[in-house]
Amino acid sequence: MWDKFKGDPLMGFIFVIFGLIFLVPGIGYGLSSPGGLPGPGAGFFPTITSALTVFFGLWIIYDGLKKGSVDYFGQDPEQRSNFKIIAVVCAAFIAFLLIWVYINFFLGIAMLSLFYNFIFKRTWKFNLIFTVVLTGMLYVVFERLLYIQFAL
C-alpha cells in the first residue's frame, strides 16, 4: 500500500500542502481592494497561483496512482553506496555551516574540502594541495580583492 504513495503521489501531496500553506492566508489578505478601491486586493494573485499549485498537485497524485510513478531513487548495485555518500556530504555541509557561524569561514571551507576529498577517496597529497589552493583562492579573490566579509 505504502509503495503506491511513494514517488509522484508523495511529491504531488507536497505540492498540495505547499499550495494550501499559501492559499489560506492568501484569501485572508483580501481578494478585492480595501475601501471600495477598484481592482483586486493583495490576496488575489497568491490565491490564484496557490490554488493552481494545489490543483496540479492533485493531478500529479491522480496520475501517479493511475499510471504509476517515476522511480525517483532507483539504482543499480554499483550505485547503492552513493546514497550514503550524499547523506555524509549533507551532514558535513551542516557541520561546515556551524564552523562558519561559530569559528571562521575559511577554516570551515578548508575542513569541508579536506573531508569531501577524503570521502571521495582522493590521495592525501592531492587533498592537501587542492584544499590549500581552493581556500587560498577564495581568500585572495573574495576577501582581499572583492572585500567580501565572511565574518558573521
Partner 1 sequence: MDMSLWWDSFLAILTPEVLMFNAAGVLIGIVIGALPGLSATMAIAILTPITFWFDPSCGFAMLIGVWNSAIFAGGITAILINTPGTPASIASTFDGYQMYRQGRGGLALGINVIYSAIGGIISTLFLIFLAFPIASFTVSFGPTEYFMLALFGLMMMISVSENNVVKGMAVGFAGLTLSTVGIDPILAVKRYTMDSTSLAAGISFLPVMIGMFGLGEVLNQMYEYKQSTAGSALEMLKKASAKLGRILPTWKEFKQFFRPTVLAGAESTIIGAIPAAGADIASIICWGQAKKLSKNPDEYGKGSAEGFAVSCTSNNGVLGGALTTMLTLGIPGDAVTAILIGSLMMYGMQPGPKMFTEDTGFVMQIMQLMILSNIAIVVFGLLSAKMSAKILNARPQTVWVGVTALCVVGSYALNNSFSDVLLMAAAGVVGFIFKRGGFAPGPFILGLLLGGMLESNLRRALVMSQGSLDIFFERPVTLVLMILIALTLCFPLIKKAVLKRRKAA
Residues in region 122-151 near partner 1 by CB under 8 A:
122, 130, 134, 138, 142, 146-150
In terms of CB distance, is 1 or 45 closer to partner 1?
45
Is there binding between residue 9 and partner 1 (CB under 8 A)? no
Helices 124-138 and 105-119: angle between axes, nearest 10 degrees: 150
Give the DSSP H or E segment for 107: helix 105-119
70's grid cell: 517515476
Choose which of 4, 17, 33, 68 interacts with partner 1 (CB under 8 A): 33
User: Closest approach of Cβ 85 to partner 1, in Å?
Assistant: 6
Distances (CA, A) of 151 to 36, 93, 148: 50, 18, 9
Binding mask 98-127 for partner 1 (x = CB under 8 A): --xx-------x--xx--xx--x-x-----
Give the DSSP H or E segment for 118: helix 105-119
Helices (DSSP H) in 29-104: which residue ranges? 44-67, 81-102
Query: What is the distance between the alpha carbons of residues 22 and 96, in angstroms, rounded to a whole number?
Result: 32
Instruction: Point out which residues bind partner 1 (CB under 8 A).
Output: 7-8, 11-12, 15, 18-19, 22, 25-26, 29, 32-34, 38-46, 49-50, 52-53, 56-57, 59-60, 63, 70, 72-73, 75-76, 78-79, 82-83, 85-86, 89-90, 93, 97, 100-101, 109, 112-113, 116-117, 120, 122, 130, 134, 138, 142, 146-150, 152
